[in-house]
A = this chain, B = another copy of it.
Amino acid sequence: MTHQPQSGARATGQFTHLDEHGHAHMVDVTAKPPTLRIATARCVVVTTSEAIASLDGSPGGIDPIEAARVAGLQGAKATGSLIPLCHPLRLDAISLDIRLNENHLEIVAICQIVERTGVEMEALTACALAALSLVGSLLERDPTAVVEELTLWHKSGGRSGPWQKMTHEDRAGT
């Protein structure tokens, strides 16, 4: 073994040094008290009315809408393993709603937790995976199906307080 081991003094120094410079890759949240956090995210899947009609499913097959809900739910729980900089969390509640419109589907996810960090990414991941699952079911009929407007709509809890996405109406003063 030709590798020259580091002297202990330097090694110990380095660990301290590391702390000093705060090379925290997953941000430290131990100092924050656990509080109730809620986040809402939303997206749409734009497609054709024919493709949406096909989502009713063939008899005996899995319902594509239900499969997408489950994909969203399981995605929300897996957020920490899917997104490198996210903390692993044990969500206390998830709501995932899919609405069929004439030429698009609308997905809204709400996540809740009593924790030291927020659940914005969990709500966004739930929407994204539900949308991907729907696109997978639409793809044979409509390879041009597109996911749009995937964004956070609302959050509450934590130091920064509640936040709500401003809309055109809000900005116009109504």
Contacts and interface: CB of A to CB of B under 8 A. Distances in A.
B149 A148 contact: yes
B169 A84 contact: no
A88 B28 CA distance: 18
A145 B103 CA distance: 24
A143 B91 CA distance: 21
B62 A73 contact: yes
Interface in A35-64: 36, 40, 42-44, 46, 59-64
Interface of A: 1-9, 11-12, 14-15, 18-19, 21-30, 36, 40, 42-44, 46, 59-64, 66-67, 69-71, 73-75, 77-78, 80-97, 99, 103-104, 106, 108, 110, 112-114, 116, 120-121, 124-125, 128-129, 131-133, 135-137, 139, 143-155, 163-170, 174
